[in-house]
Amino acid sequence: MASEIGFEPVDAGGIKMSEIVDHMTRLWIGLATNTPLGRNFAFKLLSRD
């Protein structure tokens, strides 16, 4: 589904990584609600290919 709208999906590692992904979500919500950024930002995964 993500690739259908132009994103490249990444497997975060299954249930073992769910807590880390949850913390990233909480960070995004905290930044969105407590800084001037609002909802106009995103995280980006970079790799050295």
What is the per-residue pLDDT for 34? 98
pLDDT tens per residue, the chain (49 residues)? 889 999 888 898 999 999 999 999 999 999 999 999 999 999 999 989 8
Structural domain boundaries of the chain? 13-43
pLDDT recorded at residue 31:
97
* Per-residue model confidence (pLDDT) at position 26: 98
Exposure letters 7-37 (e unless 16+ CB within 10 A, then b): eeeeeeeeeeeeeeeeeeeeeeeeeeeeeee
pLDDT, position 1: 81
